[in-house]
Chain A
């Protein structure tokens, strides 16, 4: 469940619009459980990397400030058809996810 993610790419004259959505609870570790009063352990994505044909194009280091089920949208320029875009994320508990998309 936590590893489900979706990537969509749209090519417009070499500028590719990339949209990524990740299913993740993004607990910042400060919230309290209303029933028990204990802190809910932190569980958030802390690294988000975009690779284009295996090379790093974007690295984002994030914290618990992001919302639940984060959505990333960005544009990549100088792209050619059949370029492969890979999206990787890792969270603070060691879980990770990955998805691929090919530029049309």
Chain B
């Protein structure tokens, strides 16, 4: 017993010395590298908000810019290495354009008409003054001067439900999502038009841009780590190939077949953050609103497709 314990102690001493040597060696190697790399932000790209979707930095815009282009490049959809270049837009024109998203649109229409019947003024609140809801979704997110903040479409529905109906249609809930999808389907085919040139919208855009490049979570990932050229974009990330963030907003809220429900954009952000091993925020969080403004400006000029399936 005695000899065993003494040998163990000796071994412990030797290990301590070895570790000390290793640690000093590591410090010597890694210190200069640490100083050179910025672990808080991803390198930035020049994105011109004036160009909108045409400013796509991935070089894949020509494949999915309109229906003709998507049909023309139909052959690359079958190639698993190049499929990401379609940016998922080939899903919009499949022949089986018949999915539970259509049911959610009907549900949303029923809800809007039912609540308008019970409490007059719901529609005019949704339309911010006008009762014609056609085409309003293309201009969201927008700055509301009366409320003094940037509103997304879901935030508008939540606000109107609280103000007019005394109901809580929480953002991300199925009721809110189906109404949002109904409003978006009324703007189907219209190009997204939001103005981020000045005022609070520009501030939101700049904050959203910062968030896009900000590294967070246990894996130290930014949005840009997977969705900018030179990163994982176009390469395999487990079973998937990340694609460009341009034009993505146009089909949200979308029916997600893996989840089996209509998903709003903020729920998608939550899923991304979970995969980045970061703590997801709640739908409607100001950080998500800023990020949505940035994402929507990257889809400026691209027609809305609703209802859609992904």
Q: Are A1 and B107 in contact (CB under 8 A)?
A: yes
Inter-chain contacts of B106 with A (CB < 8 A): 4, 6
**Interface residue A68 (Cβ < 8 Å from any Cβ of B):** yes
Shortest CB distance B67–A (Å):
20
Q: Are A69 and B107 in contact (CB under 8 A)?
A: no
**Interface residue B100 (Cβ < 8 Å from any Cβ of A):** yes
Shortest CB distance A8–B (Å):
6
**Interface residue B103 (Cβ < 8 Å from any Cβ of A):** yes
Cross-chain contact of A23 among B96, B98, B103 (Cβ < 8 A): B103
Inter-chain contacts of B99 with A (CB < 8 A): 21, 71
Shortest CB distance A7–B (Å):
10
Shortest CB distance A11–B (Å):
15
Inter-chain contacts of B239 with A (CB < 8 A): none
**Interface residue B260 (Cβ < 8 Å from any Cβ of A):** yes
CA distance A5 to B100 in the complex (A): 9
Interface majority SS (helix, strand, loop, mixed), chain B: helix
For window 78-124 of B, CB contacts with A under 8 Å fall at: 96, 98-100, 102-103, 106-107
Q: Mark A1-42, 1 if CB is under 8 A from B, else 0.
A: 100111010000000000101010000000000000000000
Inter-chain contacts of A4 with B (CB < 8 A): 103, 106-107
Inter-chain contacts of B98 with A (CB < 8 A): 6, 8, 19, 21, 71
Shortest CB distance B53–A (Å):
31
Q: Are B100 and A21 in contact (CB under 8 A)?
A: yes
Q: How many residues in A have their beta carbons less than 8 Å from beta carbons of B?
A: 13
Shortest CB distance B164–A (Å):
23
Tell me the nearest residue of chain A to B255, going by C-beta. Answer: A69
Cross-chain contact of A73 among B96, B100, B102 (Cβ < 8 A): B96
CA distance A67 to B257 in the complex (A): 10
Tell me the nearest residue of chain B to A68, going by C-beta. Answer: B260
Q: Are B103 and A21 in contact (CB under 8 A)?
A: yes
Q: Are A19 and B96 in contact (CB under 8 A)?
A: yes
Tell me the nearest residue of chain A to B104, going by C-beta. Answer: A23
CA distance A50 to B304 in the complex (A): 35
CA distance A73 to B97 in the complex (A): 12
Tell me the nearest residue of chain B to A10, going by C-beta. Answer: B95
Inter-chain contacts of B107 with A (CB < 8 A): 1, 4
For window 147-201 of B, CB contacts with A under 8 Å fall at: none
Q: Are B96 and A21 in contact (CB under 8 A)?
A: no
For window 62-104 of A, CB contacts with B under 8 Å fall at: 67-69, 71, 73
Q: Are A6 and B103 in contact (CB under 8 A)?
A: yes
Q: Can you list 19 A-B pairs with a CB-CB distance of less than 8 A?
A: A1-B107, A4-B103, A4-B106, A4-B107, A5-B103, A6-B98, A6-B102, A19-B98, A21-B98, A21-B102, A21-B103, A23-B100, A23-B103, A67-B260, A68-B260, A69-B100, A69-B103, A69-B260, A73-B96
Binding site for A on B (CB under 8 A): 96, 98-100, 102-103, 106-107, 260
6 nearest CB pairs, A to B: A69-B100, A68-B260, A23-B103, A19-B98, A4-B103, A6-B102
